Amino acid sequence: METAHMATPLGIAKLEGDEQGLCAVSVLNSDLPLDPIIPEVLEDAVYQLQEYFEGKRKDFSLVLNPRGTAFQKRVWEALQHIPFGRTVSYLELSKTLGDVKAIRAVAAANGKNPLWIIIPCHRVIGSDGSLTGYAGGLHRKKWLLEHESPVQQQRLF
């Protein structure tokens, strides 16, 4: 398993993967000295994330290999179909997966998403439009949704 770290506007991102694909992307709550050497198997993931943060990328084209249960993987697959700049509620996501009663299990699987940003769990909100639960912190979820918003707030001064 190879590891790389990269600076993002939201903190240091840690990427993990191997020849079978990208296994994990997480944001750290601490600063690390960054190693300028990126393992070859992670170069494309680092490049695509940089493009995302620069506003040049809306979709990722990476081989993913997240570790989880079959149900978690179904939820993570469904998350990848939420378009850039859009949100869905946990209830809508549960309906998409065919079981409205599974809302808590869907929310739990969403919270276990190992591929920060790549699998866009930040695009899932409460039924009332509220920013609910986000492992990376609600301030990061808010930033990501604003970054992806098709309507950018203009400054008056």
Q: Which residues are catalytic?
A: 121
Q: Which two tokens stand for residue 144?
A: 């990501």
Please list, in sequence order, all residues whose beta carbon lies within 8 angstroms of the beta carbon of residue 119, skipping any fewer than 6 positions away.
Answer: 64, 66, 76, 79, 80, 113
Strand positions, DSSP E, the chain:
2-8, 11-18, 21-27, 88-89, 124-125
